[in-house]
Amino acid sequence: MRVYLDNNSTTPISDEVKKEIVSAMDVYGNPSSLHQFGVEARNIVEKARLRIAQALGCDNQEIIFTGGGTESDNLAVRGYLKTTSKKHIITSAIEHHAVYNMFNELEKEGYRVSRIGVDKNGILDIEQLKEHLSEETAIVSIMLANNETGAVQPIAEVVSAVKSIYPHIIVHTDAVQAFGKMKFKVKDLGVDLLSVSAHKINGPKGVGALYVRKGVKIKHLVSGGHHERNIRPGTENVAGIAGFGLAAELSVSGIDRNNGQLEKLKIKFIKGIRESIDNITVNGDPEKTLSNTVNVSFNNVEGESVIMMLDMHGIAVSTGSACTSGSLEPSHVLKAMGADPVSSQGSIRFSMGKYTTEDEIDYLLEKLPSVIERLRKMSPLERESK
Amino acid sequence: MPNSQTKTAATTHLAAEYKREIVEKVAVGLSGGVDSAVSLFLLKKKYPDIIAVFSDYFDCLGKPEDDTSCCSPGGLDRARETASFLNVPFYRMDFKEEFRTLVMTPFIESYNRGFTPNPCVWCNSRLRFSMFQDKLKSMGVTLFATGHYASLDGKKLCRARDLSKDQSYFLYAVERERFENVVFPLSGMTKQQVRKIALKENLPAASSVESQDCCILAQKSLKEYLKEKTGLKPGKIIDEKGGVIGEHSGYQNYTVGQGVALGGMNQKLYVSRILPGENKIIAQSREKIYRKDVEFRFNPKVFFASEGEKLRAKLRSTQKPGSCTIEKLDLKSNICKIKFKEPVWAPSPGQSAVIYRGEELCGGGEIIQ
């Protein structure tokens, strides 16, 4: 049996989306061309833009297509910073590396960075955020849902906290993990900039989008033609964008059904491991995390070994994010939550998707206890603790 | 028909070597080189439940984060490619931290003490046949294979059939219990046979160049690396009486036996001693670098010879073992003194002296004098 429980890394492309991409590939015109070949391609791109705008609850002119979530994040923050002379920027301690490392680099480039902490459940400390806001603050970038724990952040509250004192400060949110997994409308969140990606919602890799609220100015990061309102030069990835449009529509229209199923499986899984494995910590408050994500620390084992052994049983999971798996460094997210560095070495992220079945969770619950037991028996950490 | 011969030799060898109990799970340590690739190929035919594991040792060696030339050791890609070609599940295990503390740091310390270390020996005994093996074992692996040219007779470590490629030298410090569930599929093969198999089977690693002696330095020269890590300071080269005869670029750049270029001297001189405390190097003429007496410090757990025994020993992996006698075995301080029949070239402190009784490797240790 092969069980894919790493949907926060990436998801399988759905059949409908696959078909949409393939048929868009037959339309080979350049969307910027004036002739009919170009117009046909333009129509595909604009149809997708509308679908994404509807999924996000915004105007289609507020969507810029990019090459993925990481690019959207960079375009949002760096693109805005190019328009202002303010040098203070704020983020959280639990961002995805796309934002986390960008802020580290911005710091080296001379920006003053405030990194706001989280509580033990991985939820942003808004009071701390308020203390750091100032006239000099240019932008606040806080993710909507965390990729490792699924912890959902109070972005609407962040926006009102920021804007009520300093209306000029721009708020960006990385919604790559949240999009299609929780209900939200950009207008309700009130953010100025919001990043999404196609491959996390059963769409293709290498396509993303950035919501740019009307009236907010950002500048392009690479030079080129006039594509995407001069903000993102380069011929559009027409087929990918077509797939993204449909994937967005499907994920939002199916959100209640999916989440209902996922919530059930999540409860079953957490209950199951609590009954069959001792010395575990479920990271984050299950009530405040995405329905598809469960992050568990198994004391006295190494995450790397758990991944390998589960893989030998055909089960795919990961430690933190795919970008850090392979590294034994405790994740910065769990560290920020105050998790014990030793037990967070053995933390595993189980992320389900719309194709996850109850049988698969049963299979996982059948294999996982013996894997953990075996690894603990051989673990030097376990021996030391006895 | 050289190919069919090669194949027969390999198959017969496998049949003889691996008449073991039913093995549930086999892991082959893949390095990206041709030897481990062929080992995987050979074992895959015999064991269906097999995995390939690459142990990731490399840090960026202190390079800045944005240097794209590092963090992508070619071995990893080649190993993954090989496993995928042979349709074997591939895993990468992270030992960067352990490699740093157990191999890299002592490597630099050894140079700072004026020694010439054998990092491969440490890597094998402290990592590969230790933590790496343990980790595999904890995951249910019952047989572990590597592409070493060495043989096992039970738990005894012996030389490989291809003496020109024999790598038993690098394995001497591995505790023998460790070999209980280990196979070296190449023990009976020559490098030529291995290459032939790789070419015939089209293995991705077939054309890979010989792995360097010191994998630590795959990405830069030893000189460059030591300069970065030790802060080399120039100093004096002196003769045996203490007279200054030249300048050196930093004592860590030298190994006993290494030739030194001195302007204005007719005769070529060689490093005979390194004096780290004074940042000086003593150089002498060629004939004075040969020695008959060598002392090394051994670990009693991997030492199986007794005083007075007439054996053979070598001080470098590529050297032919020479006849020697164990003159003195100090079991308190674990120091062994051997006397070679014929003088040997430049025993270098820090390098390993390894002794053989026939084919068996029966001891070894770090040269102290």
Residues of chain B neighbouring A377 (CB-CB closer than 8 A): 138
Contact A327 B94 (CB under 8 A): yes
Would the CB atoms of B94 and A311 count as touching at under 8 Å?
no
Least confident of A92-96, B201-205, B218-222, B267-271: B218-222
- Are residues B18 and B135 located together in one domain of the fold? yes
According to the model, what pLDDT value does residue B226 have?
A: 79
Q: What is the mean pLDDT of chain B?
A: 86
pLDDT for the residue A139: 98
Query: Sign of torsion, CA A273 A274 A278 A282?
Result: positive
Cβ atoms B73, B58 nearer than 8 A: yes
Task: Identify the band that residue B23 occupies on the pLDDT scale cut at 50, 70 and 90.
Answer: low
Domain end (from B167, B193, B217) = B217
Q: What is the ipTM of this complex?
A: 0.78
Do B211 and B244 fall within a single domain? Answer: no
- CATH for the stretch A3-10+255-385: 3.90.1150.10
Low-confidence residues of chain A: pLDDT under 50: 321-327, 386
**B133 and B268 co-located in one domain:** no
Its domain, for residue B348, covers 290-367
Residue A384: its pLDDT value, please?
54
Residue A247 has a pLDDT of: 98
Contact call for residues B150 and B143 (beta carbons, < 8 A): no
Answer whether residue B4 shows pLDDT above 80: no
Which residue, B288, B303, B334, sits at the end of a domain?
A: B288
Over range B291-298, report the average pLDDT.
96
User: Of B39-48, B103-112, B215-224, which gets the smallest average pLDDT?
Assistant: B215-224
Q: Could you tell me if B283 and B298 lie in one domain?
A: no
Q: Which residue is closest to A326 within chain B, CA to CA? A: B94
| Separation of alpha carbons A269 and A265, rounded Å | 6
Whether residue B172 is found in the same domain as residue B192: yes
What residues of B are labeled active site? 123, 215
Residue B161 has pLDDT above 60, yes or no: yes
Q: What is the pLDDT of residue A385?
A: 55
Task: Tell me whether residues A311 and B89 touch, CB distance under 8 A.
Answer: yes
* Short-list B168, B150, B147, B188, CA closest to B40: B147
Q: How many CB atoms lie within 10 A of CB B327?
A: 15
Please state the domain count of chain B. Answer: 3
| Residue B70 confidence (pLDDT) | 37
B75 and B31 in contact (C-beta within 8 Å)?
Answer: yes
From the list B296, B308, B280, B275, the residue with the least C-alpha distance to B353 is B296
What CATH number is associated with residue B299?
2.40.30.10
Is the domain of B245 the same as that of B322? Answer: no
Least CA distance to B134: which residue of chain A?
Answer: A378
Q: Is A292 helix (H, G, I), strand (E, B) or coil?
A: coil
What pLDDT is recorded for position A383?
A: 52
Residues B188 and B264 in one domain: no
Instruction: Check pLDDT > 50 for residue B220.
Output: yes
CA distances from A60 to A45, A196, A209 (A): 11, 14, 11
Q: Do A374 and B92 touch (CB under 8 A)?
A: no
CATH number (domain holding residue B262) = 2.30.30.280
Q: How far apart are the first and last CA of chain B?
A: 51
User: Would residue B176 count as lying in a domain?
Assistant: yes
User: Chain B residue closest to A377 (CA)?
Assistant: B138
pLDDT, position B223:
72
Reported as a pLDDT band with limits 50, 70 and 90, residue B56 is confident
Q: How confident is the model at residue B94 (pLDDT cuts 50, 70, 90)?
A: confident
> According to the model, what pLDDT value does residue A165 have?
96
Let me know if residue B204 belongs to a domain.
Answer: yes
* Cβ distance of A379 and B56 shorter than 8 Å: no
- In this prediction the pTM is 0.84
Residues B143 and B9 in one domain: yes
Distance from CA of A317 to the nearest CA of B (A): 14
Interface test with A, best of B26, B130, B138 (most A CBs within 10 A): B138
Enter the tokens of residue B227.
Answer: 């300069």
How far, in Å, CA of A108 to CA of A279, rounded? Answer: 41
Q: Does residue B195 share a domain with residue B56?
A: yes
**Residue B257 near residue B273, CB atoms below 8 Å:** no
Assign 3-class secondary structure to A102-118. Answer: HHHHHHHCCCEEEEECE
End-to-end CA gap in chain A: 36
In this structure, whether the domain defined by A15-253 belongs to CATH 3.60.15.10 is answered with no
Same domain, B176 and B244: no
Question: What pairing do the DSSP bridges indicate for beta strands B280-285 and B235-238?
Answer: parallel
Q: Is B225 part of any domain?
A: no
Of the residues B288, B314, B331, the one at which a domain ends: B288
Among A317-326, B63-72, B185-194, B228-237, which range has the highest average pLDDT? B185-194
Is the CB of B97 inside 8 Å of chain A's CB atoms?
yes
Helix A238-253 and helix A36-56, axial crossing angle in degrees, nearest 10? 30
* Range 24-53 of B in CB contact (< 8 A) with A: 25, 51
Predicted pLDDT at A302? 87
Same-domain check for residues B100 and B30? yes
